[in-house]
Structure 1
Amino acid sequence: MSTVEPPLETSLNLETARIPWHELQRFFAAGRAIAVAPELDLIKVGAELARDNSGQLQQWMEQGHVDAVSDEQAQAWFAANSEVWALVIRPYVLVQNAL
């Protein structure tokens, strides 16, 4: 009996979670926390990262939609005890403001 793998986006959707920014400090400190702009779909960005689609990722980076979490953003989330949407695509964690 063969099993059918769900589409990548479906699998990734099941792995997203709201999490306090405080719990992601080790990823930020290691330079592995990636901010995703609210106008992008976190799952789509995660899928493109998992697929190693460097062309699309580069385009989003040039547009300022995907980048390492800045010190200023990290401090603001920390000070506000914010929750973020998070998705781990090893070795990175993608984060997006939880509205």
Structure 2
Amino acid sequence: MDELELPLRTRLNLETGRITWQELGFFFARGRVLQVAADLDLIEVASALANDEAPQVSAWLKTQQLSVLSDLTAKAWAGDDQQLWAVVVAPWVVVQQRA
């Protein structure tokens, strides 16, 4: 089966991986990093972004379960070179901190 024939959630899951702050800093500097709260499913959020599910994405933004990565969080992550889970949903890199 061609990768393009896979369902979106499956493709996103296959494209999800670990990223270090050092690798992520480039995207942060361009304002392209979205942070997902720990209580949400990273793949669900990425899927909603990819499918342009505006009402759901707006709800997460309003409750700050999804947000553009703040300078304060970026500074903390840079200090200990945090490892994060990430998936690309152009133009965004969507990240989630995992314990």
For the aligned pair, the TM-score class normalised by the smaller chain equals over 0.9
Compute the TM-score of the two structures, normalised by the length of structure 2. 0.93
- 2:10 equivalent in structure 1: 10
SS at match of 1:13: helix
Tell me the CA shift for residue 5 of structure 1.
Answer: 1.8
The question of whether the paired residues in 2 share the 8 Å contact of 1:28 and 1:69 is answered with: yes
Q: Which residues of 2 match residues 76-95 of structure 1 at below 5 A?
A: 76-95=76-95
Tell me the CA shift for residue 98 of structure 1.
Answer: 2.5
CA distance in 2 between counterparts of 1:12 and 1:96 reads 14
Identity of aligned residues (%): 44
How many equivalent pairs are there? 98
CA distance in 1 between counterparts of 2:98 and 2:60 reads 20
Which entry has the higher C-alpha Rg, 1 or 2? Answer: 1
The question of whether the paired residues in 2 share the 8 Å contact of 1:87 and 1:95 is answered with: yes
What is the CA RMSD across the aligned residues, in angstroms? 1.5
CA distance in 2 between counterparts of 1:67 and 1:77 reads 15
Listed as ranges, the gaps of 5+ residues in structure 2 are none
